[in-house]
Amino acid sequence: MNLDMSVVFINLLELFLLIGVGALCGRARIFPEETPKVFSILLTRITLPCTLFVSLAGKSYAPEFVGAMDMDWKDREKSQDQDS
């Protein structure tokens, strides 16, 4: 995999520009004081779960891995049935 450094540089530049704009907005008090709390809730309850779902939905899994998960699940069900 050949990674072009200009792509990395542009992505980092965008990230730092967003951080800078956020810092300037905070210092200028453009947003209300409860904004950080609202953004935190937005990130932890909506954005992060969506990102995890999208990243996992695009993956293909090896049949051996899926089969091992299935066997583990069946073993758990059997042990729970025996316990009750």
Are 60 and 72 within one domain?
A: yes
Are 25 and 37 within one domain?
A: no
Q: Would you say 21 and 27 are in contact if contact means Cβ atoms under 8 Å apart?
A: no
Domains in the chain: how many in total?
2
Are 54 and 78 within one domain?
A: yes
More confident residue, 62 or 50: 50
Are 50 and 80 within one domain?
A: yes
Domain holding 80, by residue range, is 33-84
Condensed to tens digits (0 to 9), the pLDDT of residues 1-25 reads 566 888 889 999 999 999 999 899 8
Are 72 and 82 within one domain?
A: yes
3-state secondary structure 11-28: HHHHHHHHHHHHHHHHHC
Mean pLDDT of 68-82: 60
- How far is residue 74's CA from residue 84's CA, in Å, rounded to a whole number? 16
Are 38 and 16 within one domain?
A: no
